[in-house]
A and B are shown apart, each in its own frame.
Chain A
């Protein structure tokens, strides 16, 4: 599909299908949305598209959904069934394998009969319960891509087949002087333990993506769509951009959109970790997944489904897995050559035991080779990074911190300098009336009434702040006449048939109006970083209104915390030095670390300069205006948002505007990386120690008459059953270690 005419053709084809009320096709996303008047099968729709000469597929669900839960349940049920049945069958096999040598047992059941019974019991364990390994091994061989199933499959099949041959033709072994001892118990116990390990691992792994699921669960299932006939309940998937939706108290906002009518407060804590509810009214943006608390309101849907902020967050958490950490790359390289190397070691240990081992050399060689294959399973190595990453990024999402992936973690760990953009990052990004100074004999209310009445006609951003403030003070506004705006300087109007002049002091002076006693106050207000608007009525100055972009509450505490954690904190802004220093003072940033008057295009260069001086810089900005500076910084932290651009260009996105999250993000990154390193360390230790021990290295030292001799009777060999226990424990312990991140508190 390439052009708008294709869109039209597909839309027509779909609309022509009986039962279709409306069809719309998006060229960019190649998605068709169809509204149905009556049920129509997806196949018929697809056929219609194909008949028009295009391809159609059901849209993939953008993220994990209910299907995932169902899959998990299927997998768990399958594993549980295999494990329980195999375990039940394995009990008599193990009993016979260990007690069968006792003379009393042998009298009742000769060895031959024992072997046959074990063969009967062990066969379903090997070929039914263990079938996933055997099948996986076969696929691996056929495709020349060796994986862990190959190791387990080879290991258990070796023990099983050897035992089966011993059972079927014991005479051949006896003739060669080898006792016809079967190892069915070994094969059976390995299968049972590895199934148990997978069962535990699958359960724990489901918990690692728990945070993501919780985010998914924030979506309500239905929305109330306002139609001409009244409201109707529709499934969330059927909500389209442009729909008018009703949100009642206590319900979750279904999709992203804008309030059309009504007021309420929203609890955004599930999405952002921010605990204070936000007031919303007509024209305010609302985010799907937040909880409507007090009032009902109507909203216009804007972004739905995969485009919604909630889904973008979920998707981002999911995609964090795609970015590998440097520490994990080593594990990947090892994994690529691991299996063939382990098979080689297993063959070598069999040969060495056979050639140099004490009798029974064949059996000992077989057991050593099986142990090597089983203990070497690189499960723990494979789980080390993804489980920690998933848990850490999931926990971050709960705290309103979105980490892009492992590369973000590594960048965050090295940071020693944090540079904040001023406007919208350190400050609210929206000017507010900071101070109102009325001249002698004039009330503040009168001053605000005059100022706001005139300013309500102005489109200047400062004007909006003044009008807002006047409304908040409950001041009555009048309509001005003869309104004239002089851009960048001020406004002249007539109010109650008296001339009003407001603007800069210079503008008033041009009109022949002196500030007089107010002049000194004006200087002080400007030193505090405010923009001062002087107001005159009837040729007399009646007061000053100072407007400034205020520092976010909590900014000073957040910056102090960063400084305590050893970070150098800087501020960068295009604003003039006086305003910049005033903000810096309030936020607690030292004056020498303020970069003021920096043109937008120069921000990148200033960040680069800091980096050239050896600083590892994290840039905190709003993600859109600061894109080049963010891209230059070692770590890009975008404030607020959920906008695509911010998420794409930044390593870290802070969902709420709270600056404290910067410290949380850096700490979470360090902690997650720490857990990944610990996981990898133990997984490597486990494998590098486990393989030589399984091969029989310790036997060389601990054998009777060896350089050390047996310790507590142990001669240094590792039975395959113990190897399988170690293998199961190593995977479970790695996942458990990762789950510690769920308790991270920042």
Chain B
């Protein structure tokens, strides 16, 4: 083996390892914020809210929420690619269309702790909801 081959081989192995480590390392979830309901006592209190930007994927794509409290995900789609025109949460039977440049609320109340996936219609863009 020439030194160049050795170098390329080592670099390749390192790069492959890096890629896999990078993509398979668990991402840190973004914790949902309690939505301020304004003045009314108890109004909207307890609703956990997350804004998610939809463009080439979901940002953030990993979300942490508490079980038993209502969750509101506010999706804002900022691309016209039709891939992302619908968001699915299969476990809860949710399918919501996301009109472009508009905030679309998806609301549900998770009962059981666990990890639930959300994705686009083709399951190419994916995210995770971690219910604690």
Residues of A within 8 A of B (CB): 1-2, 6, 9, 50, 52-55, 57, 60-61, 63-64, 67-68, 71-72, 74-75, 78, 132, 135-136, 139-140, 143-149, 202, 205-206, 318-324, 331-332, 335-337, 339-340, 343-344, 347-348, 350-351, 354-355, 378-379, 382-383, 386, 405
Whether B40 contacts A6 by the Cβ 8 Å rule is yes
The residue that B126 contacts in the complex, of A52, A145, A344, with Cβ under 8 A, is A145
For residue B15, which residues in chain A have a CB less than 8 angstroms away from its CB?
A: 347
Interface of A, helix, strand, loop or mixed by DSSP: helix
For residue A405, which residues in chain B have a CB less than 8 angstroms away from its CB?
A: 93
Bound CA–CA A64/B96 (angstroms): 10
Can you spell out 29 A-B residue pairs with CB atoms less than 8 angstroms apart?
A: A53-B37, A54-B37, A54-B38, A54-B40, A55-B37, A60-B104, A67-B100, A71-B100, A74-B100, A132-B56, A139-B55, A139-B56, A143-B27, A143-B59, A144-B27, A145-B61, A145-B125, A149-B56, A319-B94, A322-B89, A324-B90, A332-B119, A335-B123, A340-B23, A344-B20, A347-B19, A355-B8, A386-B121, A386-B123
**Interface code B8-31, partner A: CB below 8 Å = 1, 0 otherwise?**
110011011001101111010000
Smallest CB gap from A383: residue in B: B122
For residue B9, which residues in chain A have a CB less than 8 angstroms away from its CB?
A: 351, 354-355
B51 within 8 A of A: no
Q: Name the interface residues of B111-132: CB closer than 8 Å to any CB of A.
A: 119, 121-127
**With A54-B40, A340-B23 given, is the CB distance from A132 to B12 under 8 Å?**
no
Smallest CB gap from B86: residue in A: A321
B63 within 8 A of A: no
B105 within 8 A of A: yes
For residue A52, which residues in chain B have a CB less than 8 angstroms away from its CB?
A: 39-40
A422 to chain B, nearest CB (A): 31
The residue that B20 contacts in the complex, of A72, A324, A340, with Cβ under 8 A, is A340
Number of interface residues, chain B, beta carbon within 8 A:
56
Bound CA–CA A148/B124 (angstroms): 7
Whether B89 contacts A331 by the Cβ 8 Å rule is no
**With A55-B37, A348-B16 given, is the CB distance from A322 to B95 under 8 Å?**
yes
For residue A355, which residues in chain B have a CB less than 8 angstroms away from its CB?
A: 1, 5, 8-9
Given contacts A55-B44, A335-B123, 5 further A-B contacts (CB under 8 A): A71-B100, A132-B56, A319-B94, A354-B5, A355-B1
Whether A68 contacts B85 by the Cβ 8 Å rule is yes
A231 to chain B, nearest CB (A): 33
Smallest CB gap from A405: residue in B: B93
Smallest CB gap from A140: residue in B: B57
For residue A332, which residues in chain B have a CB less than 8 angstroms away from its CB?
A: 119, 123
Whether A143 contacts B43 by the Cβ 8 Å rule is no
Bound CA–CA A565/B43 (angstroms): 56
The residue that B80 contacts in the complex, of A74, A205, A331, with Cβ under 8 A, is A74
Whether B126 contacts A336 by the Cβ 8 Å rule is yes
Whether A71 contacts B82 by the Cβ 8 Å rule is yes
A389 to chain B, nearest CB (A): 9
Smallest CB gap from B14: residue in A: A347
Whether A322 contacts B124 by the Cβ 8 Å rule is no
A711 to chain B, nearest CB (A): 30
B103 within 8 A of A: yes
The residue that B19 contacts in the complex, of A343, A351, A386, with Cβ under 8 A, is A343
B42 within 8 A of A: yes
Bound CA–CA A75/B99 (angstroms): 13
Bound CA–CA A340/B19 (angstroms): 7
Whether A347 contacts B5 by the Cβ 8 Å rule is no
B88 within 8 A of A: yes
For residue A382, which residues in chain B have a CB less than 8 angstroms away from its CB?
A: 122-124
Whether B82 contacts A318 by the Cβ 8 Å rule is no
Whether B85 contacts A71 by the Cβ 8 Å rule is yes
Whether B80 contacts A75 by the Cβ 8 Å rule is yes
Bound CA–CA A590/B124 (angstroms): 51
The residue that A53 contacts in the complex, of B23, B39, B95, with Cβ under 8 A, is B39
For residue B85, which residues in chain A have a CB less than 8 angstroms away from its CB?
A: 68, 71
Whether B56 contacts A140 by the Cβ 8 Å rule is yes
For residue A71, which residues in chain B have a CB less than 8 angstroms away from its CB?
A: 80, 82, 85, 99-100
Smallest CB gap from B12: residue in A: A351
Whether A378 contacts B8 by the Cβ 8 Å rule is no
